Amino acid sequence: MNVPLRIAVADDEVDMQEYFQEVLTEHGHQVVAVVSNGQQLVAACEEHRPDLVITDIQMPQMDGLEAAREIYQRWPIPVIVVTGHRDTSLIDRAGRYHVMAYLVKPIKESDIEPAISIAVRRFQEFQSLHSEAASLRQALADRKVIERAKGLLMAKGKLDEPTAFRRLQKLASDKNKRLVEVAEMIILADEAFAPPDKSHD
Amino acid sequence: MHDDLPLRILVIEDDPDTRANLADILELDGFVADAVGSFSESLNHDDRDQLLAIILDRKLPDGNAEELLPKIRRAFPDAAIIIVTGYADLDGAITALRHHVADYILKPINPEALRNSIQRIAELRRTADALRQSENKYRCLFENANDLLFIVDPESGKILDANIRAATQLGYHRDQLMSLQIHDICKDDNDGNLDLLLQGKDISHAWVVEKEFVRADGKTFPVEISSTWLHDGGRQVVQCFARDITERKRAAEAIVQERDFADSLIETAQAIVLVLDCDGRIVRFNRFLEELSGYRLEEVRNKNWFETFIAPPDRDRLKEMLRDTLRGLPARGFIQPIVTKSGSSRDIAWWDKMLKNPQGEVTGVLSVGHDVTELRRVQERLLQSERLSAIGQMMAGLAHESRNALQRSQACLELLQRRVGDNPKALELIARIQDAQDHLHQLYEEVRGYAAPIRLDRQHGSLREIWRRAWDHLSAVRRGREASLIEHLTTEPISFVDRYRLEQVFRNLFENSLAACSDPVEIDVSAEELVVDGRPFISIGVHDNGPGLSAEQMERIFEPFFTTKTKGTGLGMAIVQRIVEAHEGRICVDHACSSGTRIVIQLPRGQA
């Protein structure tokens, strides 16, 4: 039931690079990049846009957590860290930088696949919650604009509320525009006719 | 004659021949003779007090002896008077005697008779002088004595005489004192001591009693009275000497207070106070040592300290130290254990000093000892924890390196397994390497777990859930075994604990039981309430049906690196103890348990 994934791996140990390459491939994934520090990892992500990143923490130049933060800010990709350390400060940073799984070395082959599948699924859930929240925020903002346009119609056209709203709906359908676009135009038109010194009212 | 100043004699004689004759006789005898012709002339005499005698002619121009005698007496009160007369008549003699004339000499004067008479008078005079001097001396002593002196009539108790000191100290005039009884100035004589003083007629014995005198103003002061009997003019009087002992009493009280204070200090001191004589025998010690050692002072007094309280190997060395101390080398703060009555040992830090009596002779040694047993234990624990903390830092570094190295080894091992393919002998070797590597990993983690500081993340929760989870997590170990967990609860074991750490505790206990017991394994977990120092505790017993622990195992089970298993670091129970103690709890082996092993854990319930 493995979903084949495109994976980028970072570890400064050659043994581990070889290990990940072979084991992940064995499990049906495609290893798109194997690098040995954080900078290279960010570059590899930019180039390959992998589905998943598996990285060590302590590496030369940029460490794995720093790379995870940058990757999260630029592309939504789940990140798993595999490290020899379990200091609370590192775990805390990993949490803040949206790391999806934290594995402590030594890990075995049998540890890898469960971690991958949990991390990917959690990340997807996270992403969908994230977009859901974004669309809710947008809907709320649209509603504010529409309410304001409706208020203008009621005041200038001496209309009651249901009539004003129906007029907005009719305008949108006649002009083949979204309700919020019509509302924005009404507000803009109102500002154009308003006296210049009172433009901010 | 006398070697004193020459005695003076005054001759009053109107006849010039007799006068010269008398003067000659007297001067021949070594007296200084002044001669005058009449009484009125005699009044010019300047050394009246020095006169021993006056030789008076019976008939003088200014009157006869009978008329003149009273005047002469007044003029010369101390002089003896000898009348010289030409004829003997009875009336003259009687008159002379009435005026206390010393002698009566007839003319013509017999020098021998005169000489005898004068010498008898001189003798009397000397005796009288001596008496007067003695009287004066007594008076002087009486008046100037620093003590209060009284002469008392033993029958009535009346004060017949008292000295100035008595009057001033009592605040009376001397005359007022003389009108009082001795009882009037003594505070209530309930004990009858005063009567003893007055009636104790044994003259050879001086009675001494303590009383309180009452001053004229009503104030009192303590006195010590001694009395002696005197014969005074044919009657018996009592002479009382009273000494104001206010200061003495105050000083005595101060000494008693000082001693009481010192005694209570010694008895309440939380330190040993011990006195040995020069041979090391026990003279005294305080209650602290009685309580510490279990010996009562009475049972070991005069016994040899070293034979009683010191372990045999140390005795000779300490006897040598005692000799050093007696030579004046004080010992400060050396640590020497004592052996108590029950045979246990206490570490004592000693301060020794030699003792001298008031004559400056060395009489023994004073030793003050502090029980430092607990202090040393704490120091040892501190040292241990410092060691652990150093090991912990080292292990933290080592653990990271070991994890990375182990990871590489693991990765290569797994790759090797793939490369080898279907070669059973090689695969078996790989499995054995894997096994050894897992063990190594476990060792590193345990040592690190023991050495690392424990930080607790405490929550209120049921211990039952925690031990059940520990039991569930051991399902892999229990696979193929016949093992059951039985619970006996008299209370819901809610406590304020770090769940992860407590699970570690139960897992360790269960693992040990599973390793020690043969099937069927029964592990009985019980929980009951308990109050320790007024705080509510939960007491958990974990009891298995295994072979139980040997005496050595019971003693050493919590020691790091002590193990009976062939596998394992011997850190499991040490970590368990650390975790329980980090929860302010206690863990011990139940010594009273007769079958299997029973471990008891007591944990505070925490805030409700």
**Residue ranges of A 38-57 with Cβ closer than 8 A to chain B:** none
Rounded percentage of chain B residues whose pLDDT exceeds 90: 20
Q: What is the pLDDT of residue B397?
A: 73
Of A127-131, B203-207, B562-566, least confident by mean pLDDT is B203-207
- Alpha-carbon gap, residue B130 to B3, rounded angstroms: 15
Closest-CA residue in chain B for A20?
Answer: B411
Is 60 exceeded by the pLDDT of residue B386?
Answer: yes
Better-scored residue on pLDDT, B400 or B77: B77
Identify the residue among A105, A107, A113 best suited for mutation to test binding to B, counting B beta carbons within 10 A and taking the highest. Answer: A105
Q: Does A28 touch chain B (CB under 8 A)?
A: no
Identify the residue among A108, A111, A113 best suited for mutation to test binding to B, counting B beta carbons within 10 A and taking the highest. Answer: A108
User: Pick from B399, B407, B412: which is nearest to A107 by CB?
Assistant: B407
Contact assignment for A19 to B415 by CB distance below 8 Å: yes
- Alpha-carbon gap, residue B444 to B442, rounded angstroms: 5
Closest-CA residue in chain B for A22?
Answer: B415
Q: What is the pLDDT of residue B326?
A: 86
Mean pLDDT of B504-524: 90
Cα separation values, A59 from A21, A35, B214, B281, B423, Å: 18, 10, 105, 76, 37
User: Pick from B407, B415, B418: which is nearest to A105 by CB?
Assistant: B407
| Token output for B203 | 């003259």
pLDDT digits (tens, 9 = 90+) for A133-191: 989 999 999 899 999 999 988 988 888 889 999 988 998 999 898 888 989 998 998 88
Q: Does A105 touch chain B (CB under 8 A)?
A: yes
Chain A residues within 8 A of B410 when measuring between CB atoms: 106-108
- Alpha-carbon gap, residue B608 to B601, rounded angstroms: 20
**Residue ranges of A 61-100 with Cβ closer than 8 A to chain B:** 82, 84-85
Contact assignment for B408 to A16 by CB distance below 8 Å: yes
Mean pLDDT of A61-69: 91
Cα separation values, A167 from A142, A160, A170, Å: 17, 11, 5
Q: B586: distance to nearest CA of chain A, Å? A: 28
Residue B201's pLDDT band, with cuts at 50, 70 and 90, is low
Show Cβ contacts of residue B589 under 8 Å, excluding neighbours closer than 6 positions.
B549, B554, B557, B597, B598, B599, B600
Q: Cβ distance B123 to B100 under 8 Å? A: no
User: Pick from B399, B400, B408: which is nearest to A15 by CB?
Assistant: B408
Better-scored residue on pLDDT, B99 or B377: B377
Laid out side by side, the sheet with B80-85 consists of B32-36, B8-12, B51-57, B80-85, B103-106
Q: What is the pLDDT of residue B565?
A: 66
Is 80 exceeded by the pLDDT of residue B567?
Answer: no
Better-scored residue on pLDDT, B329 or A15: A15
Chain B residues within 8 A of A92 when measuring between CB atoms: none
- Alpha-carbon gap, residue B184 to B213, rounded angstroms: 9
Chain A residues within 8 A of B406 when measuring between CB atoms: 105-106
- Alpha-carbon gap, residue B509 to B305, rounded angstroms: 48
Q: Does A104 touch chain B (CB under 8 A)?
A: yes
Q: What is the pLDDT of residue A1?
A: 46
Closest-CA residue in chain A for B455?
Answer: A88
Closest-CA residue in chain A for B411?
Answer: A19
Q: What is the pLDDT of residue B432?
A: 92
Better-scored residue on pLDDT, B2 or B77: B77
pTM: 0.44
Contact assignment for A15 to B411 by CB distance below 8 Å: yes
Identify the residue among A11, A12, A14, A19 best suited for mutation to test binding to B, counting B beta carbons within 10 A and taking the highest. Answer: A19
Mean pLDDT of B372-377: 87
Exposure on the CB side of residue A3, measured as CA atoms within 13 A: 11
Q: Does A103 touch chain B (CB under 8 A)?
A: no
Of A118-122, B191-195, B306-310, B430-434, least confident by mean pLDDT is B191-195
Closest-CA residue in chain B for A56?
Answer: B404
Q: A126: distance to nearest CA of chain B, Å? A: 28
Q: A26: distance to nearest CA of chain B, Å? A: 10
Chain A residues within 8 A of B399 when measuring between CB atoms: 84
Q: What is the pLDDT of residue B1?
A: 41
| Token output for B13 | 């004689």
Q: What is the pLDDT of residue B476?
A: 86
Tally helices (H) and strands (E) across chain B.
20, 26
Mean pLDDT of B88-113: 78
Helix axes B572-582, B499-516, angle to 10 degrees: 150
Q: Which SS3 state, helix, strand or coil, does residue B367 take?
A: strand
Q: What is the pLDDT of residue B275?
A: 93
Instruction: Determine which helix (DSSP H) or strand (DSSP E) holds B203, and give its type and residue range.
Output: none
Of B256-265, B288-297, B330-339, least confident by mean pLDDT is B330-339
Mean pLDDT of B536-556: 87
Q: B402: distance to nearest CA of chain A, Å? A: 8
Length of chain B: 608
Mean pLDDT of B193-202: 68
DSSP secondary structure letters along B436-471: HHHHHHHHHHHHHHHHSPP----EEEEHHHHHHHHH
Closest-CA residue in chain A for B434?
Answer: A108
Three state DSSP letters for B513-561: HHHHCCCCEEEEEEEEEEEECCEEEEEEEEEECCCCCCHHHHHHCCCCC
Q: What is the pLDDT of residue B202?
A: 55
pLDDT digits (tens, 9 = 90+) for A73-119: 998 899 999 998 878 888 999 989 889 999 998 899 999 999 999 99
| Token output for B520 | 């069927």
Chain A residues within 8 A of B404 when measuring between CB atoms: 13, 84, 105
Q: Does B476 touch chain A (CB under 8 A)?
A: no
- Alpha-carbon gap, residue A94 to A72, rounded angstroms: 12
Counted across chains A and B, CB pairs separated by less than 8 A come out at 44
- What residue type is B516 in one-letter code? A
Mean predicted lDDT score pLDDT of chain B: 85
Show Cβ contacts of residue B276 under 8 Å, excluding neighbours closer than 6 positions.
B282, B283, B305, B322, B364, B365, B367
Is 90 exceeded by the pLDDT of residue B19?
Answer: no
Residue B289's pLDDT band, with cuts at 50, 70 and 90, is very high
Mean pLDDT of B493-513: 90
pLDDT digits (tens, 9 = 90+) for B20-49: 888 888 888 888 888 888 888 887 776 666
Helix axes A88-96, A64-74, angle to 10 degrees: 10
Better-scored residue on pLDDT, B564 or B142: B142
Contact assignment for B408 to A22 by CB distance below 8 Å: no
Q: Cβ distance B185 to B170 under 8 Å? A: yes
Q: Does A161 touch chain B (CB under 8 A)?
A: no
Contact assignment for B411 to A19 by CB distance below 8 Å: yes
| Token output for B68 | 């003149």
Identify the residue among B407, B440, B445 best suited for mutation to test binding to A, counting A beta carbons within 10 A and taking the highest. Answer: B407
Mean pLDDT of B132-151: 87
- Alpha-carbon gap, residue B529 to B489, rounded angstroms: 10
Cα separation values, B266 from B208, B263, B272, B358, B371, Å: 37, 5, 8, 21, 15
Is 80 exceeded by the pLDDT of residue B206?
Answer: no
**Residue ranges of B 349-408 with Cβ closer than 8 A to chain A:** 399-401, 403-404, 406-408
Q: B430: distance to nearest CA of chain A, Å? A: 14
| Token output for B193 | 């001591």
- Alpha-carbon gap, residue B172 to B108, rounded angstroms: 62
Q: What is the pLDDT of residue B181?
A: 86
ipTM score of the complex?
0.70
Show Cβ contacts of residue B557 under 8 Å, excluding neighbours closer than 6 positions.
B549, B573, B589
Rounded percentage of chain B residues whose pLDDT exceeds 70: 94
Residue B61's pLDDT band, with cuts at 50, 70 and 90, is confident
